[in-house]
């Protein structure tokens, strides 16, 4: 008789097949467990990142050298993650809750995320000065030559000046106010037309602080009523954080982990 598989060889083959199936099943279960754990951890991390939206609650202070000035800023006031580091910086962008002049925190997170209330935040940009005069100093030599028609009284003690169509400023206007000391207050605004919603950057003004630092700040036209307080608060916020007269280079530090 022709030889065929013996009962023992059939049993061994079935046992081998069963072992392979069991091995694959265990491997699949392990992979599923790893993927589930990864998705769970990754989901929590991603959820936290989405919830923060690029914000951080950290109050760790970073010394940054901008031009000739060294300024120490809490991480939660720095708007962009890539700028949250110590060392030289060409510029740094900040956002602050108004009127507290403080950075992001759990208790006021809605103020940083709700675009329907543009009056909740003030935005600052710090950079080395490139002009010899700030916005107030540019009123007479530059802006006044671009005015058209007569100035108009505006609210909150301000005077509105419209600019010539060929001025290059589009539909922006200049608002001014006299001050007891120094140059007059000057701010440039693109005010919303009737029926349009105000934004968080309707108005902008720049001032000089420190040795060679320009602070450009933007705010909603809804806050024009507070123009005096905002100007004083911005100058105070930056001046208090300037290193006392030191222009020594700040050593670069490692970027913080993603927050």
Tell me how far apart the alpha carbons of residues 48 and 171 are, in angstroms, rounded to a whole number: 41
- Cβ atoms of 62 and 81 closer than 8 Å: no
DSSP 8-class letter at 186 = E
Q: How far is CA 206 from CA 155, 185, 235, 242, in A?
A: 21, 10, 10, 17
| Bridge pairing between strands 185-189 and 203-209 | antiparallel
The whole-number pLDDT of residue 115 equals 87
| Residue 252 neighbours by CB under 8 Å, 6+ apart | 85, 86, 87, 88
DSSP 8-class letter at 120 = G
Is residue 132 exposed (0-12), middle (13-18) or buried (19+ Cβ within 10 Å)?
Answer: exposed
H/E element, 125: strand 121-128
Q: What is the pTM of this model?
A: 0.76
Instruction: Write out the chain's pLDDT in tens, 259 residues.
Output: 555 555 555 555 565 556 665 567 556 666 665 555 444 444 443 334 334 458 999 999 999 999 999 999 999 999 999 999 999 999 999 999 999 999 999 999 999 999 899 999 999 999 999 999 999 999 999 999 999 989 999 999 999 999 999 999 999 999 999 999 999 999 999 999 888 999 999 999 999 999 999 999 999 999 999 999 999 999 999 999 998 744 444 444 444 444 4
Tell me how far apart the alpha carbons of residues 111 and 119 are, in angstroms, rounded to a whole number: 9
H/E element, 177: strand 173-177
Tell me how far apart the alpha carbons of residues 71 and 248 are, in angstroms, rounded to a whole number: 12
For the chain, state the CA radius of gyration: 30
**Contacts of range 204-210, beta carbons closer than 8 Å, 24 or more positions apart:** 205/135, 205/231, 206/134, 206/135, 207/134, 207/135, 207/136, 207/231, 207/234, 207/235, 208/129, 208/134, 209/69, 209/235, 209/238, 209/239, 209/242, 210/68, 210/69, 210/71, 210/238, 210/239, 210/242
């Amino acid at each position: 008789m022709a030889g065929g598989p013996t009962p023992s060889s059939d049993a061994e083959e079935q046992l081998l097949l069963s072992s392979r199936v069991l091995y694959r099943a265990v491997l699949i279960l392990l992979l599923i467990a790893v993927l589930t754990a990864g998705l769970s951890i990754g989901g929590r991390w991603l959820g936290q990142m989405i919830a923060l939206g690029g914000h951080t609650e950290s109050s760790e202070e970073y010394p940054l050298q901008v031009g000739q000035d060294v300024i120490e800023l809490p991480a939660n006031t720095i708007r962009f993650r890539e700028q949250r580091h110590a060392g030289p910086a060409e510029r740094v962008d900040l956002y602050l809750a108004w009127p507290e002049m403080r950075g992001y925190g759990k208790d006021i997170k809605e103020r940083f995320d709700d675009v329907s209330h543009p009056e909740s935040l003030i935005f600052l940009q710090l950079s080395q000065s490139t002009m010899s005069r700030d916005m107030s100093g540019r009123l007479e030599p530059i802006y006044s030559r671009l005015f058209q028609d007569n100035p108009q009284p505006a609210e909150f003690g301000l005077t509105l000046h419209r600019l010539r169509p060929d001025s290059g400023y589009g539909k922006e206007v200049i608002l001014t106010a006299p001050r007891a000391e120094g140059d007059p207050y000057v701010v440039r605004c693109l005010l919303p037309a009737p029926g349009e919603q105000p934004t968080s950057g309707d108005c902008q003004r720049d001032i000089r602080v420190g040795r060679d630092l320009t602070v450009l700040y933007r705010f909603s036209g809804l806050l024009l009523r507070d123009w005096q307080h905002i100007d004083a608060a911005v100058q105070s916020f930056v001046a208090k954080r300037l290193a006392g007269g030191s222009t020594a280079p700040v050593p670069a530090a490692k970027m913080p982990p993603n927050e």
